[in-house]
Chain A
Amino acid sequence: MTHAIECRQLTKVWPGNPPVEAVRGIDLVIEQGLCFGVLGPNGAGKTTTIEICEGLLTATSGEALVLGKSWNVQASEIREQIGISLQESRLSEKLSVLETLTLFRSFYRNGLDPKEVIARVSLQEKMHASIKSLSGGQRQRVSVATALVGNPRLLFLDEPTTGLDPQSRRELWRIITDFREGGGTVLLTTHYMDEAERLCDRVAIFDRGRILAEDSPRKLIADLGVEHVVEFSVAYTKDHHDREQPAETFGSGLPGVISARMESGHRCLSVREPHVAIPALLGLISEQQLQLTSLTTRQASLEDVFVHYAGRSLNDSGQEGVSA
């Protein structure tokens, strides 16, 4: 079976002074029938990569094959078989949902009935409403519907849930899952790690134009050798308030602790066995005459995978990150 997507040594350099290397040599193979997530902070090269695969940008070097076809020779055949939802395109406000989908349907040789697609994204009641009157989540569903109306084998979704409320996000997740269960392949970008863990069979973690790691979310987390993360903060008692803060690595070397670091102002310990590590941590804190001001534990997540590979947290990327 041909791969849904096959990228070989893809690079993209935006001319300028200095030139910006948005994508720096990416190799990526995506099997059909998967939901594949491209993760990373803003500016990681996610959108550039996906737009090269969508045929909207040309790579500076390297090649991207889509469904085994090359953009150089079979562009219109590829376009018949893919559906796209861009990050920032705004549909005509004056048109109704049905009119918009009928317009997009007319571009495809073989597509679905626009009304059927409207039902798939649960917008039957808004069928004749203008795009202008829709909420952000409903607009996003129309955008995904314009991608579905050509009955694609491969669906590209660039940040489909950014800025949406939790209920709208869940609604979109359902649409994506339905499509994948119908045999379609999905390539989505997101900077929400929880979204990727939940939806994707495989993920690639992007940072600064490169792929840091690629595997199933579960495998990536397991490979960290870390199951739990302990987040805590400490303060000195009144008598010792002029002492220096403990080092960032405070707590490393304790039994059950793999590593210690600061993450967005919190002290984090990667821990294999919390029931061993936490008593040891508490002992160290009282020994050093410190006060524990907060303590939480959580399961390790893709967020921790990113930190592990990138050496910094997602929010420290220097770009504003929208939180879920």
Chain B
Amino acid sequence: MRDSWKMHPVTQLFLARFREFIRQPEAVFWSYVFPLVMMIALGLAFRSEPLEAISIAVQEGPGAETLISLLKKEPSFVVSGGSAEECRRQLRAGQSELIVVVEPSVGQIAAGLPDYQYVFDPTRPGSVHARNMADDVLQRAAGRQDILNTSDQEVTEPGSRYIDFLVPGLIGMGLMGGGVWGVGFAIVDMRIRQLLKRFMGTPMKKPHFIIAMIFSRMVFMVPEIVIVLIVSRLLFGVKNHGSYATVALLIVLGAFEFAGIGLLIACRARTLEAVSGLMNLAMVPMWIGSGIFFSAKRFPEFVQPVVDLLPLTPLIAALRHVMQEGAGLLLILPELAIICIWGVVTFVVALKLFRWE
């Protein structure tokens, strides 16, 4: 009886987990629907559209009227006039990106032309953009000649939009959440019910149990990821520019990595409260730092080594390389190495530290 694979403890433990999972319809629903809702909401919020109109405030004073009519010639500008105080308020509130003030002419360069002062916030990309646009318009109106011959080619094709960037991030986030929550809660629940202790009273091998936990989690993750990929393709036209085999490999390794981390987090916790706290402690740095919603490269140079070694960062980076840029297996080897090290190390450490009773 033992000879057949069906009666192998790993198979039976896997089947038990699998049956418990599919017999909880609400758990299945949420683990598959949540990532979808997230993707659709963010995809709609950040859909790629041309920059909106640029609001410019002109401070009242001599020459303000002329300035307003000058600026209004540029169709993407929305120009309003107001007192110094009103203009400042609008800038602070984000209702305008730039204040232009007409200054008494010092008239050193060209007599008869007014001097302008730009008031803007250099930390706001929109503000900087508005300043440069307004400056161009005003300089040209005053007679500046552009010397170089330039031409624009506009690129908004699939692969370079925010949604194309976002989907790999969400897949990584789903793998992290599924692994950590799924494995962590299941283990602590079994510990509370004294089921782990009961298993310890049988000849069951500990690695068999742990392998089954990790493997079952990997299997639950596959449909979740496939659904996200299909819906993102149908709804937003997100394409995978790399090979599906490589994406599949990354998903399997990512699921393994985070199941291992979930196992480690839950390896000693005795209550659901304790394990929830530990899970959040582990996941928050990755939610923020690993580049789910924005590139992890935005963090200052000195934190990059830390960010790069977080378990989620290499997974998302590798998924983006493959899906957005069509990178092959060789190009993502460093990321794969970090993912595998996390998976193996957490598995071994968790097995050592695991509290069964």
Contact = CB atoms under 8 A, between A and B. Distances in A.
A92 B20 contact: yes
Nearest to A106: B12
Contacts of A79: 201-203
20 contacts: A54-B201, A56-B197, A84-B202, A86-B201, A88-B194, A89-B193, A89-B197, A89-B198, A90-B195, A94-B23, A95-B16, A95-B19, A106-B2, A106-B9, A107-B203, A108-B202, A108-B203, A109-B203, A150-B202, A150-B203
Given A89-B193, A94-B23, A106 B11 contact: yes
A240 B16 CA distance: 72
Given A106-B9, A107-B203, A99 B16 contact: yes
Interface string A26-66: 00000000000000000000000000001111000000000
Interface in B240-259: none
A84 B1 CA distance: 22
B202 A90 contact: no
B272 to A, nearest CB: 15
Contact of A105 (B7, B16, B193, B198): B7
Contact of B24 (A76, A94, A102, A107): A94
A255 to B, nearest CB: 55
B116 to A, nearest CB: 72
Contact of A91 (B1, B195, B204): B195
B256 to A, nearest CB: 23
B288 interface: no
Contacts of B203: 76, 79-80, 107-109, 150
B202 A99 contact: no
B2 A86 contact: no
Nearest to B192: A90
Contacts of B197: 56, 86, 89
B55 to A, nearest CB: 58
Interface residues of A, number: 30
Contacts of A146: 198
A56 B201 contact: yes
B124 interface: no
A177 B126 CA distance: 84
Given A56-B201, A76-B203, A106-B11, A99 B19 contact: yes
A54 B193 CA distance: 18
Contacts of B16: 92, 95, 99, 103
A56 B198 CA distance: 9
A104 interface: yes
Nearest to A82: B201
A94 B198 CA distance: 17
A88 B195 CA distance: 9
Nearest to A111: B1
Given A56-B357, A89-B193, A107 B202 contact: yes
Interface string B1-26: 11000011101110110011001100
A105 B23 CA distance: 22
Contacts of A91: 193, 195, 198
Contacts of B198: 84, 86, 89, 91, 146
Contacts of B2: 106, 109
Contact of A94 (B13, B20, B193, B200): B20
B19 A56 contact: no
**A-B CB proximity, top 7 nearest:** A89-B194, A84-B201, A106-B12, A90-B193, A107-B202, A79-B203, A107-B204
A111 B197 CA distance: 20
B15 A99 contact: yes
Interface string B286-312: 000000000000000000000000000
A89 B20 CA distance: 17
A102 B201 contact: no
B96 to A, nearest CB: 59
A117 to B, nearest CB: 13
Contacts of A104: 202
A79 B206 CA distance: 13
B210 to A, nearest CB: 14
Given A103-B13, A108-B203, A86 B194 contact: yes
Contacts of A57: 357
Interface string B204-219: 1000000000000000
Contacts of B8: 106
Interface in B56-95: none
A310 B8 CA distance: 50
A54 B7 CA distance: 25
B200 A56 contact: yes
Contacts of B15: 99, 103
Given A79-B203, A90-B195, 19 more contacts: A56-B197, A56-B200, A56-B201, A76-B203, A79-B202, A80-B203, A84-B198, A84-B201, A86-B194, A86-B201, A89-B195, A91-B193, A91-B195, A92-B195, A94-B20, A94-B24, A95-B20, A103-B13, A103-B15
Interface string B144-156: 0000000000000
Contacts of A102: 7, 12
A300 to B, nearest CB: 37
